[in-house]
Chain A
Amino acid sequence: MAKGNVGSAGIYLGALSKTLFHASWANQYLALLRADPNLSADAEVHRVRCLSLDKDYPTLSLPKEKVLSLLLEKNSQNRMAFEYLIAWYLLNKQLGKFVSNIERLRDFGYIELPTHYEEAALIYVYSAGKGVALGGYQSSPTLRRQIEDFSRILRGYGADKRAAFNDLARNYRDTYFFYYIYANPGFEK
């Protein structure tokens, strides 16, 4: 429906109209398609069209960072694309790219940094060894204490990750600090 392929949409809706739970929704859209094949007045279809790429970028697979960046280039207010892009950077420990996008969080209504974002930002700040602007966001004293404690425990084992594992897991296994040290995403660059 979003792509304007009325014929295909009609067949999928026709199949849905024969199901128990989606029949009324499908019949409603079938009627809408008959009245307005372009669905120009449908808010959801309009929303999806505003988010869709206009330009063709053929790929052999789905390069996540590239596709998400293109989606944001098309529509900078695409919240889902932005959050997936940030998640991609965090999963891949690309903290430089993450920090460079931190200011954009305000565009999406983030009043404060989510905990894992803040933890990732602190890792970047502590690694850089100098002050880094976090788009006006303040880090909490609790998290600063935690990263210092985390670093102290790790140093106590001579930075031996394997030896420090149990101690760190006891209090920090649900933190991005722990993920950053121990996780192996398998697809990092």
Chain B
Amino acid sequence: MHEIDITLTVNGERVSERVEPRKTLVDFLRDDLFMTGSHVGCEHGVCGACTLRVNGEIVRGCLMLAVQCDGATVETIEGLSDSGEIADLQAAFEQRNALQCGYCTPGMLAAAQDLLKRGGVPSRDEIREYLSGNYCRCTGYHAIVDAVEAVAQARAGGRK
């Protein structure tokens, strides 16, 4: 199969690889770069386990091809963790037990941070709506909403 050279930035590191055109971004990250923090749940864009950031926007890693990311800036849970950007959100998830098996968590955190970046304190309904593309089988979502709400309030300086 004809392969294509791509160069992109992943979590701040410049990466040049040769990939099959059919390879999804999440498979590329997991299989070629061994970044296993992004998870594969459904491979058809429904479950959100592979949610990550490309050029600052959250995308489904299973609905984007690696070759589409030539020249792009990609941020995965590994990068979001190492940079400290979501340290407060991660701590809230841990304290509130907003994860059980943890498989949906990297994608859930990426989506939640995307909401929180907008600023303000979203309502519980708004949080639920924003996370409605990320499937969690374990928690029933209540604890996740609690954690996101708590971080929004803390970031807003404790003001409602």
A binds B: no
A-to-B contact residues, CB < 8 Å: none
